[in-house]
């Protein structure tokens, strides 16, 4: 497969890709599990890292999904269709850009899109060899990718499903190697002859059409597999135990006491850790762009900044908004779900010499990591316990400098700004959980003053892994709109920098405009949001 490693961290699935969800509730056979795993699939698809904003097509057969896709307003531009079953999760694990792909969409946007345009494949997914069940090769339902223009050019063939009926197919030659066990071939290549099969499985006909066209059926490689997981909600003997750990209850999960399969164990163990520790975490770096600050038009000097206590993006507002902002007197009001993060931010402003990043690392290690008082997030694979600690420090320092130089022309410019902020008497700190109790932030918002701007930077709070585990897609949407309305009631001119419930950036729009748009019918709202982004 083509590997375009010069590309990284695109902010969305590009417009040539459509995503669909396969309704597998009949196979699952439990309404509560079906609803919850559907919620998880949607949440992780629409979170800030996967960031999918187009229509999600959902049906109970692939043929229906493909039929619906033909009515997409941009159908002629579609190249890839990504289908996920209930319980498939696109991980939101991230790493510094120079370390390579870490998100499923990066493979879609770069590797697989290029290969689809070059007609290198029709179908890609988890291939299963069911010959021990006297059944021909099939796909697992969890996740697969279809080359949409090629499928149309072939005459829109049926996908194929389970059945007991003789069928003539192109012979398939499977790889000698497997991903695991003995029934997961790495590819199926077209054989030299036809053969008769008696039992068919999921996707058999599209597999056959690919082989007839002389194209191998491809499997996701090892690296791509690491960007996703599947929770196997259809396994009946695990369902009752699985249901015990939905929402906040996952914090009670203990892997050594569980009879669940390893995939569920791994996922719940991580989610349990997330739910337990996220409210106390300290977020040291940012991955989001600062362009939304730079490119806001017609900016006045800042009067107040309401900011989460994370990373260095707060400095982007101070440095890049308006050169007449009085940095030493602007109201700088930090709010965060994590009291630890607020305390660390206070240390950053009052104690830290920014020329010495090792001092920051030592503070984080000694005060928070060693004492286990806080989860420290520098980047996903940063390791305080690395045996090669000096190398780990250098990687973190490099990530820190790159983060700063996205905001400032030189490190010296940042050092000067840091010193000015250090003497600002108008910095405040307050704990606020925007999903459960947003009022402490609303109470701190000041009225508009002519000739000045004020901004709120709430980052991606509504699309984090913590939030998407606790709240459904609809719940996240509703609470986000509610917070916007309450802030708008206090200051309609306030500019919002945030990711909404779909991960769509607000890009410094005024609350008045955003709140008004939230009252539109859905179709009109989506058009408005697409135009504004």
CA 481, 243, 271, 337 torsion-angle sign: positive
Q: Would the pTM count as exceeding 0.85? A: no
Question: Are 426 and 332 contained in the same domain?
Answer: yes
Tell me the pLDDT of the chain (533 aa) as tens digits. 444 444 445 567 888 999 999 999 999 999 999 999 998 898 888 764 556 778 899 999 999 999 999 999 999 999 999 999 999 998 866 554 445 566 888 889 989 999 999 999 999 999 999 877 788 999 999 999 999 999 999 999 999 999 999 999 999 999 999 998 888 999 999 999 999 999 999 999 999 999 999 999 999 988 889 889 999 999 999 999 999 999 889 999 999 999 999 999 998 998 898 889 889 999 998 777 888 898 888 899 999 999 999 999 999 999 999 999 999 999 999 999 999 999 999 999 999 999 999 999 999 999 999 999 998 888 766 778 778 778 888 989 998 999 999 999 999 999 999 999 999 999 999 999 999 999 999 999 999 999 999 999 999 899 888 888 888 888 999 999 999 999 999 999 999 999 898 888 899 999 999 999 999 998 899 889 888 77
Long-range contacts of 164-168 (CB under 8 A, 24+ apart): 164/198, 164/199, 164/200, 165/198, 165/200, 166/196, 166/197, 166/198, 167/136, 167/196, 167/197, 167/200, 167/204, 167/208, 168/194, 168/195, 168/196
Selection from 249, 247, 253, 248 nearest residue 268 by Cα = 253
Would 126 be classed as within a structural domain? yes
Are residue 284 and residue 268 in the same domain, yes or no?
A: no
Q: Using CA atoms in the order 341, 477, 465, 14, what is the torsion angle rounded to 10 degrees? A: -110
Boundary (domain end) residue, out of 246, 276, 306 = 276
Among the candidates 220, 244, 276, a domain finishes at 276
Considering only CA atoms, which of 232, 235, 238, 239 is closest in space to residue 259? 238
SS3 assignment, position 280 = helix
Q: Are residues 59 and 117 in the same domain?
A: yes
Tokens, residue 90: 């696109």
DSSP state, 108?
Answer: I
In a shared domain, residues 384 and 504: yes
Q: Which of 197, 214, 230 is the last residue of a domain?
A: 230
In terms of domains, do 62 and 134 share one? yes
Q: How many domains does the chain have?
A: 3
DSSP for 386-408, please give it.
-SSHHHHHHHHHHHHHHHHHTT-
Domain range for 406:
280-532
Distance set, CA 450 to CA 260, 300, 301, 491 (Å)? 60, 9, 10, 12
Do 428 and 339 share a structural domain? yes
Tell whether 296 and 365 lie within a shared domain.
Answer: yes
Lookup: tokens for 215: 């194209």
Q: Quick one: 454 and 348 in the same domain?
A: yes
């Amino acid at each position: 497969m083509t590997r375009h490693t010069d590309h990284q961290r695109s902010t969305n699935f590009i417009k040539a890709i459509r995503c669909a969800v396969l309704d597998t509730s009949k196979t699952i056979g439990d309404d509560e599990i079906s609803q919850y795993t559907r919620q998880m699939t949607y949440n992780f698809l629409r979170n800030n890292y996967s960031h999918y904003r187009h229509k999600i097509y959902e049906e109970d057969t692939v043929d229906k999904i493909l039929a619906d896709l033909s009515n997409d307003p941009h159908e002629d531009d579609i190249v890839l269709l990504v289908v996920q079953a209930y319980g498939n999760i696109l991980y939101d694990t991230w790493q510094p850009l120079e370390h390579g792909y870490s998100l499923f969409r990066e493979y879609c946007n770069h590797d697989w899109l290029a290969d689809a345009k070059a007609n290198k494949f029709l179908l890609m997914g988890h291939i299963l060899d069911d010959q021990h069940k006297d059944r021909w090769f099939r796909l697992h339902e969890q996740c697969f990718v279809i080359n949409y223009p090629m499928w149309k050019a072939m005459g829109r063939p049926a996908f194929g499903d389970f059945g007991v009926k003789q069928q003539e197919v192109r012979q398939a030659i499977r790889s000698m190697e497997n991903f695991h066990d003995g029934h997961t071939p790495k590819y199926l290549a077209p054989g030299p002859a036809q053969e008769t099969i008696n039992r068919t499985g999921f996707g058999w006909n599209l597999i056959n059409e690919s082989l007839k066209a002389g194209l191998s059926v491809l499997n996701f490689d090892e690296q791509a597999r690491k960007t996703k997981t599947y929770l196997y909600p259809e396994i009946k003997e695990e369902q009752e135990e699985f249901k015990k750990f939905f929402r906040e209850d996952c914090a009670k999960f203990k892997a050594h006491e569980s009879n669940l399969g390893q995939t569920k164990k791994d996922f719940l163990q991580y989610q349990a850790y997330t739910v337990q520790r996220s409210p106390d975490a300290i977020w040291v770096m940012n991955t989001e762009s600062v362009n939304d600050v730079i490119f806001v038009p017609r900016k006045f000097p800042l009067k107040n900044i309401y900011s989460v206590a994370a990373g260095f993006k707060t400095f982007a507002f101070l440095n890049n908004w308006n050169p007449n902002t009085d940095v030493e007197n602007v109201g700088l009001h930090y709010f965060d779900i994590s009291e630890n993060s607020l305390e660390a931010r206070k240390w950053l402003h009052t104690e830290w010499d920014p020329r010495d990043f090792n001092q920051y690392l030592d503070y984080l290690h000694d005060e928070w990591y060693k004492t286990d008082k806080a989860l420290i997030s520098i980047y996903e694979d940063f390791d305080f316990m690395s045996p090669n600690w000096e190398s780990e420090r250098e990687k973190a320092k490099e990530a820190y400098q790159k983060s700063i130089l996205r905001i400032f022309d030189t490190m010296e410019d940042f050092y000067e700004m840091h010193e000015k902020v250090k003497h600002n008497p108008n910095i405040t700190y307050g704990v606020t959980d925007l999903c459960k109790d947003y009022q402490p932030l609303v109470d701190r918002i000041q009225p508009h003053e002519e000739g000045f701007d004020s901004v709120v930077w709430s980052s991606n709070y509504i699309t984090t892994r913590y939030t998407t585990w606790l709240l459904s897609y609809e719940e996240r949407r509703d609470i986000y709109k509610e917070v916007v309305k309450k802030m708008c009631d206090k200051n309609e001119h306030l500019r919002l920098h945030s990711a909404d419930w779909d991960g769509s950036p607000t890009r410094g729009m005024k609350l008045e405009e955003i709140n008004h748009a939230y009252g539109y019918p859905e179709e009109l709202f989506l058009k408005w949001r697409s135009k504004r982004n």
